[in-house]
Structure 1
């Protein structure tokens, strides 16, 4: 299950979301060459990624911030930026640019703390923007639970695009992080499930004051749980490329 777009792109330009994507891509490209040298990339992540045991023993709290802008592979980067692009613009429009940036950073720091407290003696470097983006998803769920999100479904060789309400997709994603967190050992690396879950909860909590100022449940009634502007109309166009049929002998 992979989200590819929502049906309510923002009416204002999401400058902060675009800037965050650009910064993450630029930083990744700046150390791209280190991936050809396993020792060099490991040392780089030990210096700039968040290593819980170093936070515990040396107080390297600043790496909770720097680790938010690092990624372990091109697919790691692309996946995170896709989620940020889909869910970030509406939240930025609702919060305002500066408040949204502070919200994003606070969600990422909250995610880092959640991962740290789950395994304070882990020696594995943690990198990625997914904790902060999980906060964006938590805020999106609170404000726009019925927004339509198109997701790709992969079933063996069948690929389908289907629209689902945001609450279904995001609630399922959050449940997967909780179950993954209980089923995985944070000391051995892999997916930082508790960072994802922690960022999601922090994002929802930080969005709660805005939700209440908008009227709480009355905000949902006014917007029917969607972003407060018309949905975009998507349609699939027929290709103009001619089909070549095989001749029968």
Structure 2
């Protein structure tokens, strides 16, 4: 897996929507019950019960999205003691929930620092140029549509699943698909893990094409260890394809990215530097 760190494709205007999405995602994560414990890996039972209750309330649940029915019992956030020891108390839902609107709230929820930072890194690198090409309002709508397409695409394939679907990955996958269509020749600096992290400057079509290929392979169940799959790879695939289709009408009028020349992480180097 390659890690993108910068693209050589300057935007003409400030990506306010991209920055707002990143700020909102970080803020929601910090306000999520159990976020501190999730960051340190030391969540105790009370934090876990609060987190489960919070996720059941605000996350997108495929079974709820497809069948439009809330479960009879959900975690209340309280801790109880049973024969097997302390555990989460289950009770009747004390809230009204719209499964369709939960897709929006779920896009700002993340399961840990690694999940959050990985998503925000991709959004920061590729979102600014897509927003620059679409404009602020259209980009916001585009992001929302891709998120819905990814979430419902995954839900249709897992209609009976009661596991929470969280994260901005589906919407961000749409951003990556749009970037591939609009700027396939833009150069992207990436770190390739090979004994050490090797910095390389590659065309976007290689970086994003490789990323999409991995998601497609993983979504089929190949290359993923049994019992370890907690990532909604199918949502990534659907979101990516949706982003490509939505961006395609804009391709003809998109100016090509600037020639990178001898650039070092987007800045012209005055002399050679050793890595």
Partner of 2:94: none
When the two structures are superposed, what TM-score results if normalisation uses the length of structure 2?
A: 0.76
Distance 1:30 1:153, change over 3 A: same
Give the CA deviation at 1:11.
2.7
- Describe the superposition over 1:200-245 as per-residue Cα deviations: whole angstroms up to 9, x where unpaired: 0111111112224x2xxxx5xx62xx26999832549979xxxxxx
Gap regions ≥5 residues in structure 2: 38-42, 70-98
Aligned with residue 111 of structure 2, among 40, 48, 72: 72
Inter-partner Cα distance in structure 2 for 1:237 and 1:130: 37
Decide whether the 8 Å contact of 1:107 with 1:135 is kept in 2.
yes
Inter-partner Cα distance in structure 2 for 1:141 and 1:124: 31
Secondary structure of 1:102's partner?
A: helix
The number of residues matched between the two structures is: 229
Decide whether the 8 Å contact of 1:122 with 1:188 is kept in 2.
no
1:131 corresponds to 2:170: yes
Secondary structure of 2:199's partner?
A: strand
Partner of 1:170: 208
Distance 1:125 1:82, change over 3 A: same
Secondary structure of 2:201's partner?
A: strand
Inter-partner Cα distance in structure 2 for 1:57 and 1:39: 25
Distance 1:116 1:227, change over 3 A: farther
Higher deviation after alignment, 135-144 or 56-65: 56-65
Distance 1:113 1:56, change over 3 A: closer
Equivalent positions of 1:133-148 (< 5 A) are: 133-148=172-187
Partner of 1:58: 68
Inter-partner Cα distance in structure 2 for 1:62 and 1:45: 14
Distance 1:188 1:149, change over 3 A: closer
Decide whether the 8 Å contact of 1:124 with 1:187 is kept in 2.
no
Gap regions ≥5 residues in structure 1: 240-249
Inter-partner Cα distance in structure 2 for 1:69 and 1:46: 14
1:198 corresponds to 2:238: yes
Give the CA deviation at 1:167.
0.2
Partner of 2:80: none
Distance 1:234 1:78, change over 3 A: farther
1:31 corresponds to 2:71: no
Stretches (4+) displaced over 3 A: 32-36, 184-189, 227-232, 234-239
Decide whether the 8 Å contact of 2:65 with 2:100 is kept in 1.
yes
Decide whether the 8 Å contact of 1:124 with 1:189 is kept in 2.
no
Decide whether the 8 Å contact of 1:119 with 1:187 is kept in 2.
no
Give the CA deviation at 1:5.
0.7
